[in-house]
Structure 1
Amino acid sequence: MLFPRLLNSTALSLALLLRHAVRPTLSVSLLTLSSLGSIVMAQTAQVKGVVLDENSQPLPGVSIVIKNTQRGTSADAEGRFSLAAAPGNTLVLSLVGYESKEVTVSNSTADLRVQMAPSDNQLNEVVVVGYGTQKRSDLTGSVVSLDSRALKEVPAANVLQALAGRAAGVDLARTGTAPGAGAQLRIRGNRSLSGSNDALIVVDGVPYGGSLNDLNTDDIATMDILKDASATAIYGSRGSNGVLIITTKRGKIGKPVISYNAYAGQNTILGQYDLLNGQEFKAMRDLAQYSAGYSPDELAGVAAGTSTNWQDLLYKKGFVTSNELSLSGGTENTQYGFSGGYFKETGVITGQSFERFSLRTSIDTKLGSRVKVGLTNLSNLNYTRGEGINPIYNTLRLSPLTSPYNADGTPNLRPLRGTIDELSSMNPITLEDQNAIVQRRRRITTFNSLYGEVQIIDGLKYRLNVGLDFRQENFGQYIGPNTIINPGSTLPTQNSAAVQNGESYRYTVDNIVTYDKVFAEKHHLTFTGLYGVQQDRGFTNRVEATGLPADYIQYYNLNLASGTPVVPAGGNNSFNRSGLVSIMARVNYVYSDRYLLTATFRRDGSSVFPQGTWLNYPAFAVGWNISNEEFLKSNTLISLLKLRAGYGITGNQGIPSGATRGSLSTNRYNFGSNNVLGYFVSSLGNQDLQWESTSNVNVGVDFGLFNNRLSGSIDLYQQTTDRLLVQKNLPLSNGANSYWTNAAKTQGKGIEVVLSSVNVNTSSGFKWTTDLNFAINREEILALEDPTKTQDIGNGWFVGQPINVIYDYKKIGIWQSNEADRAAQFGAVPGQIKLEDLNNDNRITDADRSVIGSFQPNWIGGMTNRFSYKNWDLTATMNARIGNTLVATYFQSDGTGTGYAFLNNGRVNQPKFDYWTPTNPTNAFPQPAPGDRINYSSTLGYYDGSFVRMQSLNLGYTLPTGLLKKAGLGSARVYISSRNPFLLYSPFVSNGLGIDPEGTGTGGAVPTQGASAGTGVNNRAITVGLTTPATRQLLIGVNLKF
């Protein structure tokens, strides 16, 4: 009952505050209106003007404010503005991404023509830092910002696609390649072993619990990434993994502006898997002496010279379209913004698609001179289809010696007919039956934030933020018989269906007090205080059934199933509820624009811990704007030099649900003559659990040279995370398997470099700029749950190593013909995999395994080049990850014929790789052999995952103003864009080992092969597996303003 009472009391306090704040304001205004009116009219005049960009094109949305007042307006769609001002007033013009400009009003001022230049150092840019904003020049923490202009350079389905390669220390790894798939976001690497390493997402000041796929990128105004503790400590127990702050677009003062943004294009696969053709497949099978021989269909194919590429029947072109229409504008009292969007992407495999309908509403209005209220609503309806449809494995195994069609022209549904794998695959054209294979996920979301703000006295204001985030999700699946997804089922009722439903909501209430004052023109003090509450609640439930009477019923009526619908055990059925109470204070002090100080303190209490558990999160940072010192003001070389240093403690609240209380699991047992369901304690509770805690030290320098023609920053950091959550195993005599405890410790340290340069800027209008970022992060496990323990092989954790590593045998080649005697000592023969004997005992055992690779890259980086000439613009963005290991799972056989695709014996088709023969003494792959087992084949799947990719190319043309006026347009730009157009560097691809090195997932442990049992790779591996191939995208688009 704690949170409802807090919510009610907060709402009551706001109502009382509004009552007392508005009435005095109105009465004072009425008393003074008549006496002041004549004076104001006598001194002011209407100042009109137009704002232009560096190309003399109208610049809409520019804020024009009379200096040291709150009176202002915004430029309309044609860059025009009108404002009442008195002679001697100074107009301050500002827009994110442009240098601020000041113009003094004189008696002769009539129509102004103001030209603004893009900001190269953006020191005066306002940055969102959590519960407030700061000028970039006053920042003491490590913050990266992207505005809407940068987002438009990379048309993308979601926010994370637009971030790739754009921010130092921000690493993105794909979690899938089908439409609607997301990515794994890591800010300065991993910290936790068992908890979440995901960054906190904040939208319009409110923590966001939904999917970033739900957000329309056209609705986003800015993204700010907080990386070090001095910036993230304000979020306390949620800040250790970094914070991504998204600010959506809002209305501005001025005439209504209608905008239309659209693009359309197609997706094509980056390439096909390079498989054996018919002749090569026959040669391998003969070499392997595969005992099963050839099926009748294959013998006919050999005679006819058949060589079928089954991938040609599987892949198609995908299409993508995006449309967004918005309306924004406002008066001095009320500003508004509305938008509606539609996005759809179809996959390169039949049945895969992602579709999103989005609506955005924002309203800001003044109630008198002291009170302001507003709201934001982001609502979405999403459909993801075919997310789990994966026919790649079953398709690539098909024999190239068989034909996709029978002699009479009908489809050959069972190409492996007559072999032991007849029921393991089918013709991929069975995907075309839309009733036989159905997967649909529907997600409805509404994210709402409301605020009320009261200016109590000059510089002091109170703000109430209320957020409500609600999501409802429905998932349905039907897999029919005689399809490539379910080839082993041949009877009409050998089908399966499942329905899963879930809901979740989060409400947040934040009471914020801000005091912002400048004393004696040199002392700028800002205080922010917060008292907030948050509650999360959600559930999921799932029902499965088999034996439905017909395909058309799909998953809609499971009662018709011949098999009794069942509720599966595990995470598909769950309920959770948690709450958070927080107190926070932050002080920012700036002296004479030279000396900077930030101090933050936050205290969090959570319902997931025992009563009375509160944790504190302090942070402290200082800065020195050396370039503002008198001794450097006349320096023509150094235009900016600022030193920063900070220390802070943050937490990670992503602990397993119920870890403090323990958990129950179900099991069946015999009770008399009945077999009944019972419960047992599967994990003990731990009342002493706490959040994981990260202490962070960050030292940085911001610099600008040659009037900021070259600018950038360098940051050094070290982050140590202790009290890591790990499960400690218990003896079976305890009656429970394990319990959660705070024990382990990790550390990360690194360097980040950001450079921005104006390479060319000519009077003829040609400009070339470059943004470059580079980051090195080194993770290390310092301790496990037992201080005397240095490794946990089961989880893949090793003291002194990064968090995500590969622990396996090390392949050093292939046994050659002249090494037969030596190979025999290890139970091998020439042509088989040769492993390193670490302990030199002349045999291969578990003791010969070691850490042989890491998924942590040596460095990551990105580069964006922008070229503009008059009305033309070209943007090229590159992304790089160098030095990590990837796992190509399709080179690893589990020996059963059912796990991974290729067995190296001619039983099924496989990639065209360099395998050993007596006449080809290679060290790459072993000799084909008749059996289904390749000893130690897991060692065949580890490769250099380095790559440098051209992430996007965007060429645009802005139509001249003269042409636009005739069409009634304010501005118009047309463009052509390509995403993933080509790879610049990848040893994995250039050596013919795969299509794309970036990975098709981040999960899926590969068990160690061979005579020894073991874990193999960590389940957070970056894997390249047999899933939907990565694609390249070609788009044409338009940006219009009316």
Structure 2
Amino acid sequence: MKRRLTMFLACMFLSLGMAMAQTHVTGVVISDEDQQPVIGAFVKVLGTQNGTQTDLDGKFELDVQAGAMLEFSYVGMTSKKVKATPNMRVVLESNSKTMEEVIVVAYGTQKKSAFTGSAAVVKADDITKVQVTNAVDALKNKVSGVQMTQGSGAPGSSSRVLIRGIGSITAGGAPLYVVDGSPFDGDIKSINPQDIESLTVLKDAASAALYGARGANGVIIITTKAGRADRGTITVDAKWGVKSRAIPDYEYVTDPAAYYELYYKGLYNYAADPVDGKGMTPEQAYAWANANLTASNSYGLGYNVYTYPAGQTLIGRNGKLNPNATLGRMVTGADGQQYWLQPDNWIDAIYSNALRQEYSATAVGNTDKSTFYGSINYLDDKGITVASAYKRFTSRLKADYQINDWLRIGGNMNYSHYTINSANGGEGTSADSGNMFALTRIAPIYPLYLRDANKNIMRHEASGLDAFDYGDNQSGGLGMSRPFMGGSNALSDNRVNLDFTEGNTFNGVGTVDIRFLKDFTFRSVNSVYLKESRSKGTTNPWFGLYATDNGSVSVSHGRNWSYNYQQTLNWKHAYGLHDLDVMAGHEYYRMVTTSLNGTKSNMFDLNYSELSGAAVTRNTNSGNSLYNTEGWFGRVNYSYGNKYFGEMSYRRDASSIFHPNHRWGNFWSLGGAWLISKESWFNAPWVDELKFKASYGSQGNDNIDPFLYTNTYRIISSDNAVAVVKRDRGNEKISWEKQGMFNVGFDFSLFRQRLSGSIVYFDRSTKDMLAFFSLPLSYGWAGYFDNVGDMSNRGLEIELFGDIIRTRDFKWSANLNFTTYKNKITRIADANKTMWLDGVQGYNSGSYFYGEGESMYTFRLKKYAGVDPETGKALYWQDIYKKDASGNFETDQNGQYIVEKTIKTDNAEKASYHLCGTSLPDAYGGFGTSVAWKGFDFSIDFGYQIGGQVYDGNYASAMNHNRGSAMHVDLLKAWSPENKGSNIPRVQSQDQYTTSSSDRWLTSASYLSLQNINLGYTLPAKLTRKVGLSKVRIYAVGDNLWVWSKRQGLDPRQSISGSVSNVIYSNVRTISGGITVTF
């Protein structure tokens, strides 16, 4: 009994002791920035697996040993270790120091403080603020050194991206895209923008040199979202929007009466002109102009849509419309049927507001050894023209698993299915040009439809559709012919003809990470990309280009298949204040492209759009291409005391583009950085961080056509026999376009992180640019390529980020980026120096002059000299060359004619060419600001460009007296005997020099655009948690809302070369509303 009592007392005291050693801890974790609860923060007993997470109020409970140390951590915040006490209140600080950020670099990540190159990061929050089909469009006006142009607003279209200027005349200038560590040649549109964690732009050669041949034009690294180790969530987002034209028409004369009056004026002036016209009296000119105004001949418009009393004229002697004329006219065809003529608004009939809707759902989760991320997305992006649309479905699954302490594996798969309906071109033109051309350039006097005597739109019996007016006298023998785009009708082309593409893409990436010994890590990244697409196009058998062939059908199939194998070995070690990071690697890439297409005419049924549904073969073709690269590379990063940093890299690359004897190239880089603010002698309290950096790197560009190193031929049919025709002569010595870039600048953070940014100067040089050399016809070859040119781009980039106000309830920040650079051709092959122009030797191509010391896009044009005040004719400057006593032209030491004097001439053919500036801007960039107050958030972003020139051929065309095409309102201010001071020549028919190509049509390329506005409200957590939700945000967003340029209708953002067009799909604005719910 005594023994049992002793045991009982011992157990009791032991239990009491254990109970006394255990402590129940409660507390709350808050953020130092806004004093709000930190939801999902990790709370862990140091040195154990015992831990928990904070709830929706930031609170936690945990049983711990008395005196235990707790570690508090959260993504984006500095971890903190605190001794466990009752009722704890822990404040976590944001880890927002500029230099402490980690950025994605080539084959890894690096602290910004140790990074010696130039890179910019656009994060998920900024990407999801904009409504883009292609995630890269989120970079617009956001990153210094990045120029983006949008040639078309058609659904599914993409922007062109240039990084730090133009690197080549012949080779491509597109950057390399890297997705989750693997080079990606696929369509960026196949990636859901909401799956992207960040876009990192590597701008300098030191940053991109490890990518060798493919990174010469910069690198854009796309990092997709991954599972999080802190908590699991499900997020659903839905948005609905309306799209409309962002760019209005040019200021055309839209009133039919005013158009007839203006056109009549040109006929009258021609008839009365005694030199270049018919020399008629005023009365004769009046009668002749009226007789030809609406005639279907080489002078007239072909259509009269006014009714006026018999015996009278449409235009009176005062040049104004007959006051008795009324709009609309009844005509009788040769078939005896009556037709009603009235003008229609072609633009309004084709363009209309369109809907855009997008839905996505993501799931993020984790276990103690794995994380996963999954998403689905559906986009329905209708076009603002009939029969244009883009639909896309994407899905992604990304997961990783820690098998044991030394082995981790991961997988990332993305699938997308898409369909594209394109605006059908008609008239044998490209898909989004022919019909757009007719729409924007047709005169406001022509009917779109055929109408009966009751003014009702007629039906086309064979098709069952509305009967369209094709302007080619196709119905009833009306005797009328439209001189502009006769035989076409844009609306019917879009409604009847088919231009449809459907495709699937798959991208898979697998990773293996192995840690061994102590400081070694082996990583293998293997990826595969597959794209299959099938396109179909039809032209109807009733009207248009192929009506006489009973319609046509075209079918094509394409496949892109690529894979990339990458292996890297890293060694990291620290020796006191010395940190060393060494990496060596190997990479192999292969891409195979195949294509198959055919066209047949004489269709059985328009609804059966397959080749088997037509009888006559017009053409068939197929092809394939193969591209391989292989590289061995290495990098060494060194730092001392986290104050001095050095980096060097080397890559030896091979490309199948070149001859086997010239396929390998060597590329390298060196870089260094100095964190000045860490020096003991540095004493500037207002400077948080200041870093000086400099680097130089070399790269090679192989972005050229294959097989330039060998002779190429065309195989044709000659009397049903095979014939081989020479094309280009090969040059086995061609090799890389070599690029070198020097980069120097400062990164800084001031006033306790209230102002941060960077200032960088860069010098990018290209050596051995490829140029084409034409050969005489007697050689049989068209020509050959050789490495003979050099080019440079030198510029300055500035990026500023201001954290202006930061309180618990209110935050206000702003940003600005600025880039200026000068492009210059520094060497041209002697064989291509075919002329001197204004003291510069070079050659011309179209309206551009390529000369040593000049920009790539330098205009070569004649110079406009105004208007002859007496005749109203356009004048141009003509150089008169000096002659010697024998009547021969004198030349200077360069063999160039010496100009004796310059005179004005009204014959543009005699005018002299001159250098007329460049299309490249003096500066470009963007700026914006964002505000957050309680649950509200607002941001606004602008883009700008200063300087440069655009050749506005659209305006030039509209300033001419062309039959049946639109005319600009500026012609109403043209020269006349009463307005002799005008700088616009007189309106005159048949005048071939009025709108001759000259610097008259060069217009400033400056613009200011309102790129994006975003307004949102996040519901209070107290409200959302009552229904089991983590976060609810409602928002409204507008993109591409407004642009100011020198002239209405002009969009300088179309092209970097200064060539703009209104024959393409108009850029669009989008305004949407949406909701995001997180569970």
Normalised by the size of structure 1, how large is the TM-score?
Answer: 0.85
Residue equivalent to 2:738: 693
CA distance in 2, matches of 1:926, 1:392: 29
Residue equivalent to 1:15: none
Q: 1:616 aligns with which of 662, 666, 671?
A: 666
Distance 1:305 1:831, change over 3 A: farther
Distance 1:331 1:430, change over 3 A: same
Residue equivalent to 2:633: 584
- Residues 1:980 and 2:1069 aligned together: no
> 1:413, 1:426 within 8 Å by CA — same for their partners in 2?
no
Equivalent residue runs for 1:535-614 within 5 Å:
535-554=590-609, 556=610, 558-567=611-620, 573-611=622-660, 613-614=663-664
Q: 1:442 aligns with which of 498, 502, 509?
A: 502
> 2:303, 2:482 within 8 Å by CA — same for their partners in 1?
no
Distance 1:719 1:420, change over 3 A: same
CA distance in 2, matches of 1:84, 1:949: 58
Equivalent residue runs for 1:857-868 within 5 Å:
857-868=921-932
Residue equivalent to 1:832: 874
Residue equivalent to 2:80: 103
- Residues 1:147 and 2:123 aligned together: yes
Q: 2:107 aligns with which of 122, 131, 135?
A: 131
Q: 2:678 aligns with which of 609, 615, 628?
A: 628
- Residues 1:793 and 2:844 aligned together: yes
CA distance in 2, matches of 1:741, 1:567: 33
Q: Which amino acid aligns with 2:1046?
A: P
- Residues 1:458 and 2:509 aligned together: no
**Post-superposition CA distance 1:137-193 (Å, at most 9, x none):** 111100101111121222322223211110011110012111111011011011111
Q: Which amino acid aligns with 1:800?
A: G
> 1:859, 1:881 within 8 Å by CA — same for their partners in 2?
yes
CA distance in 2, matches of 1:217, 1:851: 44
CA distance in 1, matches of 2:138, 2:107: 25
Residue equivalent to 1:1013: none
**Post-superposition CA distance 1:811-838 (Å, at most 9, x none):** 2323322xx5xxxxxxxxx333534648
Q: 2:806 aligns with which of 761, 780, 784?
A: 761
Distance 1:45 1:371, change over 3 A: farther
- Residues 1:883 and 2:947 aligned together: yes
Partner of 1:123, secondary structure, is helix
Distance 1:44 1:509, change over 3 A: farther
Residue equivalent to 2:457: 410
Return 5+ residue gaps in structure 2 as ranges.
1-20, 268-288, 295-301, 309-313, 315-324, 329-342, 424-430, 459-466, 474-479, 834-840, 881-898
Paired-residue identity, %: 23
Q: 1:164 aligns with which of 140, 160, 167?
A: 140
Residue equivalent to 1:810: 863
Residue equivalent to 1:966: 1026
Distance 1:802 1:102, change over 3 A: same
Residue equivalent to 1:849: 913
How far does residue 77 in structure 1 lie from its aligned partner after superposition?
Answer: 8.0
- Residues 1:279 and 2:334 aligned together: no
How far does residue 74 in structure 1 lie from its aligned partner after superposition?
Answer: 8.3
CA distance in 2, matches of 1:64, 1:780: 59
> 2:632, 2:652 within 8 Å by CA — same for their partners in 1?
yes
Distance 1:933 1:385, change over 3 A: farther
Residue equivalent to 1:773: 817
Partner of 1:101, secondary structure, is coil
Residue equivalent to 2:561: 505
- Residues 1:682 and 2:727 aligned together: yes
Partner of 1:938, secondary structure, is coil
Return 5+ residue gaps in structure 1 as ranges.
1-41, 821-829, 894-900, 1003-1019
Q: 1:737 aligns with which of 773, 782, 802?
A: 782
**Post-superposition CA distance 1:784-825 (Å, at most 9, x none):** 2327823121374222111223222222323322xx5xxxxx
Distance 1:811 1:171, change over 3 A: same
> 1:76, 1:254 within 8 Å by CA — same for their partners in 2?
no
How far does residue 343 in structure 1 lie from its aligned partner after superposition?
Answer: 1.0
Q: Which moved more, 1:880-889 or 1:974-983?
A: 880-889
Equivalent residue runs for 1:368-383 within 5 Å:
368-383=404-419
Distance 1:299 1:647, change over 3 A: same
> 2:960, 2:994 within 8 Å by CA — same for their partners in 1?
no
How far does residue 44 in structure 1 lie from its aligned partner after superposition?
Answer: 12
CA distance in 2, matches of 1:227, 1:68: 43
Residue equivalent to 2:698: 649
Partner of 2:100, secondary structure, is coil
How far does residue 988 in structure 1 lie from its aligned partner after superposition?
Answer: 2.2
Q: Which amino acid aligns with 2:961?
A: N
How many residue pairs get aligned? The number is 938
Partner of 2:154, secondary structure, is coil
Partner of 2:969, secondary structure, is coil
> 1:91, 1:105 within 8 Å by CA — same for their partners in 2?
yes
**Post-superposition CA distance 1:875-930 (Å, at most 9, x none):** 1111111112223332345xxxxxxx774245333332235231334655433222
> 2:952, 2:1059 within 8 Å by CA — same for their partners in 1?
no
Equivalent residue runs for 1:259-408 within 5 Å:
259-270=235-246, 271-276=248-253, 277-289=255-267, 292-294=292-294, 295=302, 297-300=304-307, 303-305=325-327, 308-386=344-422, 388-390=431-433, 391-404=435-448, 406=451, 407-408=453-454
Equivalent residue runs for 1:723-734 within 5 Å:
723-734=768-779
Partner of 2:728, secondary structure, is strand
Distance 1:93 1:479, change over 3 A: farther
> 1:471, 1:504 within 8 Å by CA — same for their partners in 2?
yes
Residue equivalent to 2:762: 717
> 1:88, 1:104 within 8 Å by CA — same for their partners in 2?
no
> 2:959, 2:970 within 8 Å by CA — same for their partners in 1?
no
> 1:649, 1:694 within 8 Å by CA — same for their partners in 2?
yes
**Post-superposition CA distance 1:621-674 (Å, at most 9, x none):** 111001111223x632111111001111011121211112232123454xxxx4
> 2:687, 2:749 within 8 Å by CA — same for their partners in 1?
yes
Q: Which amino acid aligns with 1:702?
A: D
How far does residue 82 in structure 1 lie from its aligned partner after superposition?
Answer: 9.0
Residue equivalent to 1:30: none
- Residues 1:469 and 2:529 aligned together: yes
**Post-superposition CA distance 1:189-237 (Å, at most 9, x none):** 1111111111110000000101222221100001111111111111111
Q: Which amino acid aligns with 1:714?
A: I
Q: Which amino acid aligns with 1:661?
A: T
**Post-superposition CA distance 1:86-141 (Å, at most 9, x none):** 9776747453xx5x32311313277665455483x532221001101011111110
Residue equivalent to 1:19: none
How far does residue 55 in structure 1 lie from its aligned partner after superposition?
Answer: 4.2
Distance 1:962 1:464, change over 3 A: same
> 2:437, 2:1062 within 8 Å by CA — same for their partners in 1?
no
Normalised by the size of structure 2, how large is the TM-score?
Answer: 0.82
Distance 1:490 1:511, change over 3 A: closer
Q: Which amino acid aligns with 2:558?
A: G
How far does residue 854 in structure 1 lie from its aligned partner after superposition?
Answer: 2.0
CA distance in 2, matches of 1:114, 1:122: 21
Q: Which amino acid aligns with 2:1013?
A: L
Q: Which moved more, 1:353-362 or 1:681-690?
A: 681-690
How far does residue 284 in structure 1 lie from its aligned partner after superposition?
Answer: 1.1
> 1:73, 1:254 within 8 Å by CA — same for their partners in 2?
no
How far does residue 422 in structure 1 lie from its aligned partner after superposition?
Answer: 7.8
- Residues 1:703 and 2:751 aligned together: no
**Post-superposition CA distance 1:851-870 (Å, at most 9, x none):** 32322111111112011111
Distance 1:399 1:877, change over 3 A: closer
